[in-house]
Amino acid sequence: MAGLRWPDAMELLVFLLGFLLVYYLIRARTSNKLPPGPSAWWQFANLFSSDRKPPHIRLEEYRKRYGNVTTLYILWMPIILLSGFQTIQEALIQYSREFAGRPRTRINYLLSKCQGIIFAPYGSSWKRQRRFTLTILRNFGLGKIYFEEKILEEAEYLIDTLKASLEGQAVDAHPVITSAVSNVTCMVIFGRRFHYEDKTFTHLVGLYDEMLRLQSGIWIRICSVFPFILHFPGPHQRIFENQAAIFAILQGFIEQHRETLSGGTIRDFIDAYLLEMKKERDGSFDSMLTEGNLLHDIHDLFLGGTETTTTTLYWGLLYMMAYPDVQVKCQEEIDEVIGRSRRPSMEDSSGMPYVSAVIHEVQRYANILPLSVARAMTQDTIFMGHTIKKDTLVLINLYSALTDEGQWKHPHQFNPENFLNDSGEFFKPDAFIPFSMGVRACLGERLAKMELFLFFTSLLQHLEFRWPDPATSPNLEGLYKIMVAPHPYEMLVRRRETSGDP
């Protein structure tokens, strides 16, 4: 308030606060038909509380008090929280299209431009991007030997890198795990893998990690409620600077592909998109395959294909150190079914119920995406007796499904028995929905399942993982940055002898 005398500045501040109060009261009166929930005032006061529980834990408290359909607020902006497996299933399957929208906030528009797959609004363009992406993945052999070979090759690079550090020193494996998983995505998108020390590659991976931190912070919420702030300098501008840096690198890869594109050879996703985009432009109809959609599709594929699988594997190795008996049982089953010299195969998974149960339990218990990507109503809808207006924001509480006490044997413990029947056979409860459900379910689910099984099995086939300090225990509390990740940790890695073949 440069140029204003102190009394004038105080009068202006009081006026603004009064205006916001009146505006809130008007908006609050129009929301009395929404589901029950804590008052906006109470939630605002809790912003200044010393209680810093993770968001999904606090939301579980709301669920227990107000029910499975709850109204929350960011100031005067109502948000519907859906919890419990049965409620989520009804919403995302029976009302799949009604709950398929994305928030129509100014900051969401500036970041996504209504393009791509993850953050694009439900509509014809989004359907086209998703359908075309799935077609390309299938054409490149998703679910077939080609993808297995690429994942297993990268697993060998990862194992060799970890073996090179076997000098009795504790190491943090997160950077090389990230590089390995990212390289699988890079082979799909860019048609190549990168050395783990490649500067462009490590810079891009670092930018994505920073993006998650920025977009889980308080500024993204403030800008959603007060979009005029976007016009002013401040810490929130770092969100856009980060995205611009990511897009500059991705655009560089697109230009390299354009210069070397050959109509007879499709090397990767970018090639396939550029060729199909040209074909549709040469046709007589408007194409939804555009330069902007290509850029955002690549961005979404890299984000979805790297961070979730990396974080799950990082949790998995931490659990193996926290529960060494589970690690031993996994290795015994691997030795019995595969041995220590043959490569694993996806066909092995059906004969390895314990390893499959452990991998699924890591996904369930780590619960890396306790809240799926925010949704919005595509139309006015009556759901479970409540009227939810079009464009109302909706949060899907996946944590509540993955810990639903009516669905799991041991909902609040890490225990592979959650996925084993009385005969020791693998089974998957319906409430296992880490990839969400319905039309907005993760399109990379199949690839993620392949990577998790092949990376996890390969690592335990060749290496043992031990907690470096016997006097302490692993910290199993998560860090929340959109995804729930472990606190950074170090581990001791020991080579297993190449014996024990069946």
How many C-beta atoms lie closer than 10 Å to residue 281's C-beta?
A: 12
- With H, G, I as helix, E, B as strand and everything else as coil, classify residue 195: coil
Mind listing the pLDDT tens digit for each residue in 455-498? 999 999 999 999 999 899 999 998 887 789 999 999 999 998 76
Cβ atoms of 289 and 132 within 8 Å: the answer is: yes
Q: What is the pLDDT of residue 208?
A: 92
Cβ atoms of 381 and 98 within 8 Å: the answer is: yes
Distance in angstroms (rounded) separating the CA atoms of residues 201 and 180:
11
Residues counted in the chain: 502
Distance in angstroms (rounded) separating the CA atoms of residues 104 and 107:
9
Mind listing the pLDDT tens digit for each residue in 163-217? 887 666 888 999 999 999 999 999 989 989 999 999 999 999 999 989 988 887 7
Q: What is the pLDDT of residue 285?
A: 64
Shortest CA distance to 223 belongs to which of 93, 103, 61, 343?
Answer: 103
Mind listing the pLDDT tens digit for each residue in 159-174? 999 988 766 688 899 9
Q: What is the pLDDT of residue 6?
A: 47
| Tokens found for residue 387 | 């009227």
Q: How far is CA 25 from CA 17, 32, 75, 139, 142, in A?
A: 12, 11, 11, 55, 53
Q: What is the pLDDT of residue 91?
A: 96
Mind listing the pLDDT tens digit for each residue in 377-402? 999 999 998 999 999 999 999 999 99
Q: What is the average pLDDT score of the chain? A: 87
Mind listing the pLDDT tens digit for each residue in 84-116? 999 999 999 999 999 999 998 888 888 899 999
| Tokens found for residue 499 | 């014996």
| Tokens found for residue 160 | 């060799």
Q: What is the pLDDT of residue 143?
A: 56
Q: Is 165 exposed, middle or buried (0-12, 13-18, 19+ CB in 10 A)?
A: middle
Q: Is residue 461 within a helix (H) or strand (E), and if so which, with residue range?
A: helix 445-462
Q: How far is CA 19 from CA 12, 25, 232, 474, in A?
A: 10, 10, 21, 50
